[in-house]
Amino acid sequence: MAKFNKIDTIGIIRSTGIVPVFYNKDVEITKKVVKACYEGGIRAFEFTNRGDGANKVFEELIAFVRKECPEMALGAGTILDAPTAALYLQMGADFLVSPCMVEEVVRLANRRGIPYSPGCGTVTEITHAQELGCDLVKVFPAGTVGGPAFVKNVLAPLPWAMIMCTGAVEPTQENLSAWAKSGVTAVGMGSKLFPKEVIAAGDWKAISTLCAQSLAWFKK
């Protein structure tokens, strides 16, 4: 069973503000990346279901997180159908994320009391997701649909909306400050937070440092 309930998980995401998005077929590398993020202050992490055997990596990863990163909410991303969602929920996923709206996943997640963030790109899609019970909505691809200005404009008529943006988010002061000022609840950040050369070198300290600095920029 998931360790966090719906309110706790969203609270963790809101208080942290940055959700790393990552996939690697090597479970040991993945563990080291998650641990490095945790040591850098990250408390919510999205492991994406993008490769063959991703679920097997997640199964080992969540056992590791429960032991080594006890305050971490670990979610599963790129969830495109209910059977896959059910598999990850059975393994203990604390939240689910999709690049689009999958209504069968909404029903499953609501039944289990687990947060589900579907990908949305318009005000109509955001409000539809809210009507279905999705508290935290993912805007994706955030840079393509308008960036921070899009979020600011959406929140004008929908000030209660909780939005997590993924896409075009970078670990720089200028970029993160712009997203924070837009009123976004959180941002998801992928490859820019995990440069290939850093992963190849096994420089986990560099990832921790970049996470800590990014959190400081976002919260400032």
Tokens representing 194?
A: 């995990």
How many of the other CB atoms lie within 10 Å of CB of 60?
14
- Collect all residues with Cβ–Cβ distance below 8 Å to 213 and sequence separation of at least 6: 171
Residues 180 and 36: their CA atoms lie apart, in Å, by: 23
Tokens representing 61?
A: 């990863």
| Active-site hit among 28, 46, 174, 205 | 46
138 is catalytic: yes
Q: What is the dihedral of CA 116, 121, 125, 131, to 10 degrees?
A: 40
How many of the other CB atoms lie within 10 Å of CB of 7?
11
Three-state DSSP class for residue 95: strand
Residue 77, CA atoms < 13 Å, CB-side half-sphere: 22
Three-state DSSP class for residue 47: strand
| Active-site hit among 6, 104, 138, 220 | 138
Tokens representing 129?
A: 């997701």
Q: What is the set of active-site residues?
A: 46, 138
